[in-house]
Structure 1
């Protein structure tokens, strides 16, 4: 059995607490020598198969930049742009999502090639089509903060590393009078579609520009400055305005930088990003990566990851288990991502530039996925980040009128169900984190759960959401109940007795769905009748009473009132009998699950 040290879980928790007593502390000198080499246990390939959707490439914890390869294949299993089954690369883009169920980003793709290629994605059956190259997995190397691969078609070795806001490329070319680096502002990942883009040659070693796009996040903007270690001999711009099927005009931009190269000649490229401006991108580069020491940047990225991973000392003699554990911990720190410049300038949800903010602004709040475990973990091992995280969420509330649901690139996507941002902010208030206005935090909590949108008005009218009023009714009600309980607990702590009673009552809305005969949570209509027919195994994705689950899963979604749930079963014994059966029953969820 795997365990946390010799004295069990309590010992592991004490290690976490001790690690957090010095938040953001230096890793120089004797302290850095005490850190264990834990990046050796991270396997970034875990989650790249099946439906894992994880990012593969070079980044640092919570960085704006996620620099990595993009396959030419598209589809649900390529939400991050990469899948282990694919052996194609069409470019190395600077922003990726990880572990999400929808694809987006893929901004600012750079692709080194030799010779003239078609500026398009390409087709897998034609190895000479498009920009892409095949690669052999044996040449691919990936570890925290570093990625390397050999592009077979062009005989180019690629190495990547990164700081928070700067991607650092190293290309080793063959001898050629027609070596090129393509900057692709057209192609993104998943739902992402470019709306406008620009590349400007500033001199023979510097280009800059921007990319605007629409996708899961409806209005995305990113600016960049790229500096090359070798002067280009030519700069070619291919920029066209094209009309979509919907009659919208979009600007498609590619840039090609041409070089003469000797055999094994190395060209380095630094690409700094900013959500605000080209000038701020230049400032970010000057601050984070002023020089050209590629190996030092790799070392610094590894040290940044190692520092964060050392916050938990997981002791086991089984290296396979340790590899799984530290890879999972690594994945919790790909996002949320800093979404501001080194001077704290950021682009807000109100579509305004905010200068010299008093906090570090974040994005990529995949809250339905993270509020149950990842964010509570952050309060334990990253307490130094919590003030900025909560300040960001409260600022989002000021700018859009509610706390974030699933926030990306200064856009509210409203993806998934419930009010998970409410739970995260309430958790921080109840754990007494400092540095933000708790009175405003309570108003933000209350405002967010009292809106009429996304079925919430039915909660107040019926005490639950009827399935004839709103899709995914059971899932929404049970998620809202957790958020309402969170608000109730904050109200109680702040002495707001009336609010406590009101939200506590709302938090018991889950009870309306319990069928005492079948002992499942079932959808009810506005007249209080259960949905018929009923199959506890069946699920139609986003089209029935549940969200990515069935009655077998949702019956247990009452973490805030376990005793109340047990009471519905009539006895603890009946509850345990049903719970035990969850692990042995089998059934078909249906073709539309």
Structure 2
């Protein structure tokens, strides 16, 4: 493997060609608004002191009990610690600076502090707060695997730092907390994330701590798993602390610190982290629209590079929980002894076919390739390509073989610097009994909830599952639709690799979606094991045969054969009219089931026919492109952006489940006016056009993957009410059809659009 591809894995240094020549002011990183939707935050959502996909994601916590409604919550007024890990089913290493004049042990059971936003500064890679109770100014930043703290204590008080070593912390309970002094200014410790219903095995976080002042005392309490590290009376001098992490061994935590952060220059770390973010964000340059919409765009792009976290060390060691016993794995190294890629913790790729799979492959192919290699490593270790692994565990989050479109899209776009033979072996296994299609959500011990056997033999997944209940999301009609699409994408890869028998098998299975279409009602409809339609059936009722959606939404989940779906509905004209009515109805609720994932099942929201707050509806505005009505794609995509993805406040943002970059990626693609219905999984994939919101957007193409330098979208006469494309040309030639093919686009050039108020 070429080491340049994976330069991101080591120091996250990016090629100079990908950065702006003469950077604008403000720079993209300065437009990021980290507070977006922070009032609705869940444990893994909020980010400040972190790098892209960093092992460390350091920020204040207001709520520490549970994976939902936890972590940083904008409307809260009390800080309960600064923790270093906010990831899918992972947490760890929470600390709290304290000052005191009395016995420090009194604080161990009561150490929270009030604070206010008036004395808070949050930027990409940096967070500052003032703890009112203690009079302490706290600043946070981070390298990839090391958190750095800078505290200013009030003069005259004793200065200390409390380590939270037990009890609830986000998604899991911390157990076996340990902390010991290893030098005048050094500590070593560990905490273990207990198993959860989603992550079935524990995972230990090892950490090393260094201070720039001598430790004077360690104070603990027999009944509380917390320790206060004391530094004596403060003279107003800044106290700095570095905390490095490892999921494998304390020595690797030491190596992570020595490699990434051997110095004590806090401002330098913050500046370096800012520059890392800016280099990635600068791969897309935008002009036009309002400053608010430019800020929202770069915040969306920032979110697209968030949430999924590194779990491997700088030397390539990583935690492997895919087998019966824990082991420390080792990633392959290049000739210089550095890992060829990082290993990742990742929430589900469910819905990624319309979001990160498309955005990463076009703008961040180096990152996409790393994730492919990481997922293949899971297969080599545990025998399955995961849907969403946590702490080296398989979690079996959500349903289907959601990683398949991701891999197939990479291959079709020429991103192939991974073991394709092994990947294909693992992908095919996932589509057969015993693979991912056999498991429903969080089904750890069995392989029955996915019921791929009935899908194969009957042509659909019955609802309810005749085998019983084994996991979450056992929603047969929705599973049938997912499997059909994923089978079609695997058939495309089979064709590309010359595997004709597999191509025929999976292409045949991809038509199974037709078996859950009820011509009488005009909707996708669940069937039981005897082939009887669900009766009574309400296509607007949430979660009755469909995963996190209703039948009205999921009826359009046929991204691989929309013409075939239209034929079932009586033709494209009738299909377009039906879908248009759904959008008209959904507009009354702003196209989302409320303003957060927590309320989407409420009676007033669950019946919405289009929901841009969750993954199953993400493609619906672009379906019109395939029904002969690109004007309606342009119209409704703009309407959705305005209602669902334009806010720039702590209380609004994604109106649902952002899921580690999925919503951010979708918003970026829609605002650029490009989309891929099938995740770009056909030969020479098509980028369909929507309605861009900016006058100009320049995508700087990665030179290791694509021959062109830039792809530019120019939208002349673009205004808020100018939804429609009146004319389109690429490199001077008229564009016919609904989009541009991948090979042409990545050779570089200019797409010129003339926008107007009429179709």
Compute the TM-score of the two structures, normalised by the length of structure 2.
0.68
Distance 1:397 1:119 in 2: 47
Q: Which residue of 2 aligns with 1:581?
A: 581
Is residue 382 of structure 2 the alignment partner of residue 400 of structure 1? yes
Distance 1:94 1:82, change over 3 A: same
1:226-245 equivalences in 2 (<5 Å) = 226-238=209-221
**Secondary structure at 1:408 match in 2:** coil
Query: Could you tell me which of 373, 377, 381 is aligned with 1:391?
Result: 373
Offset at residue 188 of structure 1 (A)? 4.5
Alignment correspondent of 1:466: 462
Q: Pick from 182, 193, 206 the counterpart of residue 213 of structure 1.
A: 193
In the alignment, structure 1 residue 270 sits paired with structure 2 residue 239? no
Aligned to 1:432: 414
Counterparts of 2:146 and 2:602 in 1: how far apart (Å)? Answer: 46
Gaps of 5+ in 2: 1-11, 334-339, 440-449, 467-473, 594-600, 607-759
Unaligned runs of 5+ in 1: 1-22, 121-128, 241-251
Alignment of 1:107-118 (within 5 A): 107-115=92-100, 116=104
Residues 426 and 445 in structure 1, CA contact (< 8 A), matched pair in contact too: no
- Of 475, 482, 485, the residue aligned with 2:478 is 475
Q: Does 1:347 align with 2:319?
A: yes
Sort the Cα spacing of 1:47 and 1:537 in 2 relative to 1 into closer, same or farther, 3 A: same
* Cα separation, partners in 2 of 1:73 and 1:87, compared to 1, 3 Å: farther
Residues 35, 307 of structure 1: 8 Å contact kept: no
Partner residue, 2:745: none
| Distance in 1 separating the partners of 2:484 and 2:401 | 9
1:378 counterpart = 2:363: no
**Offset of residue 227 of structure 1:** 0.1
The question of whether the paired residues in 1 share the 8 Å contact of 2:385 and 2:403 is answered with: yes
Aligned-partner Cα distance in 2 for 1:264–1:86: 29
Asked whether the equivalents of residues 77 and 83 of structure 1 are also in contact (C-alpha less than 8 Å), the reply is no
1:409 aligns with 2:378: no
Determine the structure 1 residue equivalent to 2:180.
Answer: 200
* Aligned position for 1:125: none
1:282 Cα deviation from its structure 2 partner = 0.9
Q: CA deviation at 1:130?
A: 2.3
Deviation at 1:68, TM superposition (A): 0.5
Contact kept? 2:464, 2:475, Cα under 8 Å: no
- Which residue does 1:536 correspond to in 2? 539
* Equivalent residue runs for 1:445-524 within 5 Å: 445-452=427-434, 453-454=438-439, 455=450, 456-469=452-465, 471-524=474-527
Distance in 2 of aligned mates of 1:326 and 1:463: 44
Match of 2:73 among 59, 67, 83: 83
CA distance in 2, matches of 1:131, 1:28: 49
The answer to whether the 8 Å contact 1:349/1:396 transfers is no
TM superposition shift of 1:355: 3.1
Distance in 1 between the 2:419 and 2:563 partners?
33
| Contact 1:465–1:476 (8 Å) recurs in 2 | yes
Counterpart for residue 638 of structure 2: none
Contact 1:474 1:513 in 2 (8 A): yes
Contact kept in structure 2, 1:149 and 1:158, CA below 8 Å: yes
Partners of 2:580 and 2:157 lie apart in 1 by 69
1:341 aligns to what SS in structure 2? coil
Q: Deviations over 1:490-522 (max 9, x none)?
A: 101111111111111212222111111221111
Q: Secondary structure of the equivalent of 1:78?
A: coil
Offset at residue 233 of structure 1 (A): 0.9
Q: CA 1:397–1:30 in structure 2 vs 1: closer, same or farther (change >3 Å)? A: closer
What TM-score do you get using the length of structure 1 for normalisation? 0.86
Match of 1:96 among 80, 86, 89: 86
> Which residue is 1:146 aligned to?
126
Q: Answer yes or no: is the 8 Å Cα contact 1:71–1:82 preserved in 2.
A: yes
Distance 1:173 1:369, change over 3 A: farther
Q: What is aligned with 2:31?
A: 41
Which of these residues, 265, 273, 278, is aligned with residue 301 of structure 1? 273
Rate the CA distance shift 1:35–1:384 in 2: closer, same or farther, 3 A: farther
Q: Distance in 2 between matches of 1:41 and 1:577?
A: 40
Other structure's SS at 1:532 match: coil
CA-to-aligned-CA distance 1:220-278 (integer Å, 9 cap, x gap): 121110001111110134577xxxxxxxxxxx732210122335321100001112111
Structure 2 SS opposite 1:67:
strand
Q: Structure 2: how far apart are the matches of 1:276 and 1:401?
A: 21
Whether the aligned pair in 2 keeps the contact of 1:57 and 1:69 (CA below 8 Å) is no
- Alpha-carbon separation, structure 1, partners of 2:373 and 2:18: 33
1:183 is aligned to 2:179: no
Cα distance between partner residues in 2 of 1:291 and 1:28: 29
Partner of 1:14: none
C-alpha displacement of 1:190: 3.5
Query: CA, structure 1 residues 162+280, in 2 after alignment: closer, same or farther (shift >3 Å)?
Result: same
How many residue pairs align between the two structures? 543
Do the aligned partners of residues 188 and 382 (structure 1) sit closer, same or farther apart at CA in structure 2, a change above 3 Å counting?
A: farther
CA displacement, residues 23-57 of structure 1 (integer Å, 9 cap, x when unaligned): 96445999674466111110011121246762132
Aligned partners of 1:473, 1:238: CA distance in 2, in Å? Answer: 53
Residues 117/580 of structure 1: CA separation in 2 closer, same or farther (3 Å cut):
farther
Q: CA RMSD in A?
A: 2.4
Which whole-Å CA distance do the structure 2 matches of 1:447 and 1:109 have between them? 40
1:105 aligns with 2:85: no
Does the C-alpha gap of structure 1 residues 369 and 253 become closer, same or farther in structure 2, counting only changes over 3 Å?
Answer: farther
Q: Residue 42 of structure 2 contacts residue 67 of structure 2 at CA under 8 Å; is this kept in 1? A: no
For residue 71 of structure 1, the aligned residue among 58, 62, 66 is 62
The answer on whether the counterparts of 1:24 and 1:384 sit within 8 Å (CA) in structure 2 is: no
Preserved contact between residue 64 and residue 169 of structure 2 (Cα < 8 Å):
no
Moved more, 451-460 or 323-332: 451-460
Aligned equivalent of 2:298: 326
- Pair 349,140 (structure 1): closer, same or farther in 2 beyond 3 Å: same
CA contact (8 A) 2:331 2:341 kept: no
CA positional deviation for 1:74: 4.0
